[in-house]
A and B are shown apart, each in its own frame.
Chain A
Amino acid sequence: MIDTFSLVLSHLLMFILAVKIVVHPDVNTEPDVSGRHFKQVIPRARNEEDTGA
């Protein structure tokens, strides 16, 4: 009983860990922590420029 409970608990946590590794965004690349964040500039729509809105 103790053996089974311990095995199930640890393997459940290891399975959760494996799933977390799969969905973790920074496993293969280290995130940029330089503190410089750039605002993305999207080109304005052409009709918006034409109308001057």
Chain B
Amino acid sequence: MRDLFLIGFLLSLFFLGFRRPFIFVCGYVYIDIVSPQRISYYLLSSVPLSLIFFFLCFAGWAMADDKTKAKFTVRQGLMIALLLQCFYTTKTADFPVEALGKWDWVWKALVFAIFLPVTLYTRARFEALLAMILLSLSSIIVVGAAKTMAGGGGYGTLNLMVANNTGLYEGSIISAVAVCVIPLILFMSRHGTIFKPGILTKVYCYSLCLACALIPVGTQARTGLVCLAMLVMLELRAAKRRMLYIAIVAAIAVAAVPMLPKSYTERMNTIQGYKGDASAGTRLAVWKWTLDYVSEHPFGGGFMVYLQNKIEIDLTYTTADGTLVHAKGYDFARAFHNSYFEMLGEQGYPGLILFLLIHLTGIVRMEIIYREYRKDEGEHGWVSPLASALQHAHLIYLMGASFVGIAFQPFIYEIVALEIGFDQYVQRNVRKHVWTPFRVRKHRGYAGQLPAPETQPVLAAETGAAPRGPERDRPLPRWGKQAEIDRRRNS
């Protein structure tokens, strides 16, 4: 029955896409996040849905969309460079077969992220995409939150509809992602135009925010708690009434802590120190191994390079009576549990630099837009809140990325693509000059300031000035354009 339901939904997207090809883009994002192949039992699992929808996205854009607004940006160039680096390391990987398995979905995520900004040239489009991302995530988050409220949570035991604990269905990853989308949900509840911010929209959005906040409790992932703390700090910056915000957050914290399950508070207490905690000790040992590895292989060892690690874990701890107990553990093939070390180990220094540039550029650009439009109200009153929401989501994700290996998670590349599309939209439509280091200044001589060439002899006859020929192509000075034109005209 579930299979038939999912097939029916996909077919409806398929047919609606022929009316509006942008729906194919939304359909691809839905498949990327929800993975209907994984939650269905057998009918969809053998169909290459991603490939079909990616082809339809591209064909729809090529046939129906406005290509004049498609501009190549620096961040897309960086993603192409990262894709090439991944291709190179896959070819030279230490574990070629395993590396090909990861390359199989990484290249799709990167290619789609490079392509996606060219389709996002109207506000309705990137709002629709954002709504599709949030609703797709809600299909996982609502399940987790409802089961948490029903008492079905627990570390590694929260059932999110699928048996295999990978991708966005993994506890720590969904915790980080669920918390990082809260600013975006709040934006949609206040400034959305597709779902107007009425009472129903607000009720749903606030309920979804609560569900997102419950996911770290249900999964008992420490990553989620760190992300929640980051969210509280970032929203304090964006809040208009900060004292009221602090009071509300404090009241929620005081009210919520006694209701948290004991197992959750016990697990969260392990954040305080890393000594004696096998999980933290393992991570530190893997990171040390990664640094040693890249000192010999600066271009990385390709995907799944961690499979070769053999680590010694320091489990020294102090007992209640003050006795220092020295203990050592041994392990092998432990994952990085950190996106930055994941990039460093797998793609080397070039990969890590590209990764940081892609994400930090997005955060800086959103900050610039946020500051530029912070005081705007009315028509462009939504620009600054969206920039702020995207930036906060990005920062929270990057914080979560310090604890889980999510460097190539397609979700964040969709957010990066959304930022690029939004940035370009602001440059093109909002028309207030936001500083950009790569903007090409359009100095085309007198073409923009003087009458058309055929009217010039008439103008010359009227004013008595000699008609200008080749001088028209001379570049204009940056300052005092009108004064310069008048001076040349009179000379």
Contact = CB atoms under 8 A, between A and B. Distances in A.
Interface of A: 2-11, 13-15, 17-22, 24, 26-30, 33
Ranked 5 nearest A-B pairs via Cβ? A10-B139, A6-B142, A6-B143, A2-B146, A26-B124
Contacts of A17: 26, 128, 131-132, 135, 194-195
Contact of A15 (B12, B124, B128, B131): B12
B181 interface: no
A21 B60 CA distance: 15
A28 B122 contact: yes
B91 interface: no
A14 B9 CA distance: 9
Interface string B139-150: 100110011001
B16 interface: yes
A33 B380 CA distance: 10
B66 A28 contact: yes
B20 interface: yes
**How would you classify the secondary structure of chain A's contact residues: helix, strand, loop or mixed?**
helix
Interface in B7-26: 9, 12-13, 16, 19-20, 22-23, 26
Given A6-B143, A18-B13, A24 B124 contact: yes
Contacts of B136: 10, 14
B181 to A, nearest CB: 13
A20 B26 CA distance: 12
A24 B379 contact: no
B466 interface: no
Interface string B119-162: 00111110010011001101100110011001000000000010
A29 B143 contact: no
**How would you classify the secondary structure of chain B's contact residues: helix, strand, loop or mixed?**
helix
A11 B142 contact: no
Interface residues of B, number: 40
Contact of A7 (B5, B19, B20, B379): B5
Interface in B170-216: 194-195, 204
B132 A24 contact: no
A22 B65 contact: no
B299 interface: no
Contacts of B150: 2
B2 interface: yes
A33 B381 CA distance: 13
10 contacts: A11-B9, A14-B132, A14-B136, A17-B194, A20-B194, A20-B195, A27-B122, A28-B64, A28-B66, A28-B122
B161 A27 contact: no
B30 interface: yes
Given A17-B26, A17-B135, A6 B194 contact: no
Contacts of B455: none
